[in-house]
Amino acid sequence: MWLKVSNINVIELYSLTQSNMYRSIITGSGAYIPENIVSNSDFLSHEFYTEDITPGGKTSARVIEKFSNITGILERRYATEGLSASHMAAKAAELAILDSGIDREFIDQLIVAHNFGDMKDGQSFPNIVPSLASRVKKLLGISNPACIPHDLIFGCPGWLQGMIHADAFFKAGMAKTALIIGADTLSRFLDPHDRDSMIFSDGAGAIVLECKGVKDRSVGLLSTSVRSDCGDETSFIHMGNSQNPEIGATPQYLKMKGRKVYEYALRHVPAAMKECLDRSGNPIENLKAIFIHQANEKMDEAIVKCFYGLYGIADPPKNIMPMCIQWLGNSSVATIPTLFDLVRKSLLPGFELKKGDLLLFASVGAGMNINAVCYGYDC
């Protein structure tokens, strides 16, 4: 039954892509938001250490207030005990498949973006063999051997990079459908003695992307932009020792040089966003919404302001940037697909998408890597 390549008519698809009458269209979305809510006040019992390993004492309400003013985060979600990244990915994927109405056996590419694989509570190392994508394929009950599962490690921009990869597969005539998932359990890699631990969270988001013939060339994936700087920038987000010297060299924790990340993002992300929008052939006045990686509220606001500044516009339009970081925190690869799903399904007050709306997706993260996608919304 599965001797041919899924449901692809290779000659038909190649002809479609070469005639430029196709687009990569999002036909379904889904998200899994963990039930365990961790508020800022839950960190009052933590003993943080500064970067020079000087005991910082118990967290004060003033520290929490300063943190929330900078990041915008009031609470975040952690995966419950026993719930892995691959299980969250499968939950989000199920919703996306249901939303799209696609037969899961005709998914050609199953891409899972993550950073740490599966990690059980109390474990000191990640589990990435077999790949998370293979595990998700099993959890979804997909038996078609022509459905190719693979992981994508690209830092926080991983999910968006998966979208770019899928579009390239479509253009090459090698696939017609893709399930793209971002999932992480960052809470299991956080140093309890590092203030940056308050930023991160867990979650999963997914979309179904399909290669479809279109009459309106303003819909679907219109353009992309990708940048990578791997000199000194590789140390900006890395794995390292605990801030508490008594813990020793193991286990390793997620570490971030916040000021360096901020400066890098402000220097390069707006330009990548502009390059992407310009490639789409659309003026900035057509832009309806920016879905940016939920890294830090103040940083995201500064990026968008700088982006508009590149066009000689002092202030961005109001309500151009939906956000969910305030109650979901920074779940890395899961932030954009989760946010998109919330807006797409009218679950985020004040934001609504209409057919023909021009959207810009953008992300920055460990590598350091940056990417952007311009997309014409097609319901």
Domain boundary among 213, 235, 261: 213
pLDDT score for 119: 85
Number of domains in the chain: 2
Is there a single domain that holds both residue 201 and residue 274? no
Residue 8 has pLDDT above 70, yes or no: no
Say if 363 falls within a structural domain.
yes
pLDDT score for 55: 60
pLDDT tens, position by position, 65-120? 888 999 999 999 999 998 999 999 999 999 999 999 999 999 999 999 999 999 87
Q: For 75, phi and psi rounded to 5 degrees? A: -155, 165
Say if 40 falls within a structural domain.
no
Is there a single domain that holds both residue 242 and residue 144? no
Is there a single domain that holds both residue 201 and residue 319? no
Is there a single domain that holds both residue 371 and residue 252? yes
pLDDT tens, position by position, 43-66? 988 888 875 545 655 567 788 888
pLDDT score for 340: 98
pLDDT score for 33: 98
Amino acid at 277: L
Is there a single domain that holds both residue 178 and residue 88? yes
pLDDT score for 3: 34
Is there a single domain that holds both residue 157 and residue 235? no
- Single out the residue of 93, 242, 119, 134 nearest to residue 184, CA to CA: 119
Instruction: Tell me the CB-side half-sphere exposure of residue 109, using CA atoms within 13 A.
Output: 28
Neighbours of 274 (CB within 10 A): 20
Is there a single domain that holds both residue 238 and residue 189? no
Say if 185 falls within a structural domain.
yes
How far is Cα 169 from Cα 165, in angstroms, rounded to an integer? 6
Is there a single domain that holds both residue 188 and residue 254? no
pLDDT score for 12: 53
Say if 260 falls within a structural domain.
yes
pLDDT tens, position by position, 314-356? 999 999 999 999 999 999 999 999 999 999 999 999 899 999 9
Is there a single domain that holds both residue 184 and residue 233? no
Q: Which CATH number do you get for residue 305?
A: 3.40.47.10
167, 196, 329, 356 from 375: Cα distances, Å: 12, 33, 25, 9
Is there a single domain that holds both residue 236 and residue 360? yes
pLDDT score for 285: 96
Among all chains, which residue has been given the structure tokens 């915008």?
72
The mean pLDDT value for 119-136 works out to: 83
Give the strand order in the sheet containing 287-292. Answer: 220-228, 369-376, 358-365, 287-292
Say if 42 falls within a structural domain.
no
Say if 68 falls within a structural domain.
no
Say if 54 falls within a structural domain.
no
Does this model's pTM top 0.85? yes
Confidence class for position 4, pLDDT limits 50, 70, 90: very low
Confidence class for position 127, pLDDT limits 50, 70, 90: confident
How far is Cα 373 from Cα 365, in angstroms, rounded to an integer? 15
Is there a single domain that holds both residue 254 and residue 135? no
Confidence class for position 306, pLDDT limits 50, 70, 90: very high
Strands 253-256 and 148-152: unpaired
Is there a single domain that holds both residue 313 and residue 247? yes
Domain boundary among 151, 181, 213: 213
Domain assignment of residue 353, given as a range: 220-376
Domain boundary among 213, 233, 250: 213
The mean pLDDT value for 295-299 works out to: 94
DSSP string over 194-246: -GGGGTB-EEEEEEEEEEEE-S-TTSEEEEEEEEE--SGGGGSEEEE--SSTT
Find the DSSP H helices in the chain: 10-18, 61-71, 85-100, 132-139, 158-171, 258-280, 297-309, 325-328, 335-344
Residue 78's Cβ-count burial label (10 Å; 0-12, 13-18, 19+) is: buried
Say if 70 falls within a structural domain.
no
pLDDT score for 18: 46
Among all chains, which residue has been given the structure tokens 């929490």?
64
Mean pLDDT of the chain: 91
